[in-house]
Amino acid sequence: MTASPSSPRPLGVAIAGLGFGEKVHLPALRDCPLTEPVALWHPRQERLDQACAAAGLPGFSDFEALLADSRVEALVIATPPEPRFALAEAAIAAGKHLLLEKPVALDTAQIEELQRQAIAAGVCVAVDFEYRAVPAFQQLQALLASNPVGTPWLVKLDWLMGSRADASRPWNWYSQRAAGGGVLDSLGTHAFDTLHWLLGPTRSLTASRSLAIPHRPLADGSGRLAAVDAEDIALLQLELETAGGQRLPAQVSLASVSRPGRGYWIEIYGSEGSLVLGSANQADYVHGFSLQQAAPDGTLQEIAPDPQLAFPHTWPDGRVAPVRRLIEWWAVAAREGRPMVPGLAEAALSQRICDLALVSADTGLRQLL
């Protein structure tokens, strides 16, 4: 899709990272009239050449050379977590707007440092908390504003996936806590941001974490096993603070080894009824979600989707449409010179929950925010 003659020139965006970046961000950038993909970056030349040939785009294996290219006004950084901080620092120093995958960095301190640098440089940084762009979640957020459950009593969020239930799946960065692996950083960052957006910030937490599969085979086919130290199960008890100042208990269950897996479900229980949003579809986060409401008698009834929130169109890969929506928000914010929400402030708050959950799990102590 191209911009009309009267519209602003599309933002020239490079993509760093060719997994999620190539499969999801690239088609989303191409569909958005406010953005234009202009280059790809990957440290391995063979992988880069393959992606560039498929996409018809120039490629860089030298990150500094990518930043020096005048066509590159902004970057999507969709690498594994460990290198993101250094790449983002370099991009901010070069004056580039950023869209960062999550977890943004390895700890809260790194995210807060990026936030300071981005403010000083005057660049717009978005974080891909794309559940904020999914119609069913937007409808739930709008519905909560009318207080349909009365006084909220309890929130329960289950995100139970089977993506790593196969013990033969090879060891990689996801197996390493120091590299940003584990369900807290992969699923928790999204889950905590969603709760903060819908209901309010976390004020205290207790957590436990465990490891169901302690060893995985190396990817070299040797048959050798490597130790895993990143949790594949995490259980948390949060205390949220609502806009009205109420302290609201929230239970969060995260797992990547729950075969076949329940999927993603949020349940909100209150004095006047309940709301339930969820999907058992583990393939993407568009197809399969339903929103239900229950009166005090407990009878659940499905709420019809709001057509005003629907995507204009979707892709077979349901991950593309919400990312496409968030990319448009980012492009508008960058052109208007204003902060992006969700951005680094939201990422820092979500990551702080991950960091303190590790402390709580290791010490057995409640953590206050």
Q: What are the tens digits of pLDDT across the range 78-103?
A: 999 999 999 999 999 999 999 999 99
Residue 88's pLDDT is 98
Q: Does residue 296 share a domain with residue 333? A: no
Q: Does residue 216 share a domain with residue 136? A: yes
pTM: 0.95
Residue 3's pLDDT is 47
Tokens describing residue 36: 């234009």
Q: Does residue 180 share a domain with residue 37? A: no
The SS3 assignment for 341 reads coil
Residue 71's pLDDT is 98
Number of domains in the chain: 2
Nearest Cα to Cα of residue 253 among 229, 230, 281, 234: 234
Long-range (24+ apart) CB contacts under 8 A made by 335-339 are 335/8, 335/11, 335/34, 337/122, 337/124, 338/124, 339/124
Q: Does residue 258 share a domain with residue 116? A: no
Residue 260's pLDDT is 84
Nearest Cα to Cα of residue 355 among 88, 114, 111, 98: 111
Residue 231's pLDDT is 98
Residue 234: give the domain boundaries: 131-305+351-368
Q: Does residue 218 share a domain with residue 114? A: no
Tokens describing residue 28: 């989303």
Classify residue 163: in a domain, yes or no.
yes
Q: Does residue 136 share a domain with residue 197? A: yes
Classify residue 91: in a domain, yes or no.
yes
Whether 36 and 29 have beta carbons less than 8 Å apart is answered as yes
Q: Does residue 356 share a domain with residue 269? A: yes
The SS3 assignment for 295 reads coil
CATH number for the domain spanning 334: value is: 3.40.50.720
Residue 276's pLDDT is 97
Q: Does residue 275 share a domain with residue 188? A: yes
Q: Does residue 48 share a domain with residue 78? A: yes
Low-confidence ranges of the chain (pLDDT < 50): 1-5
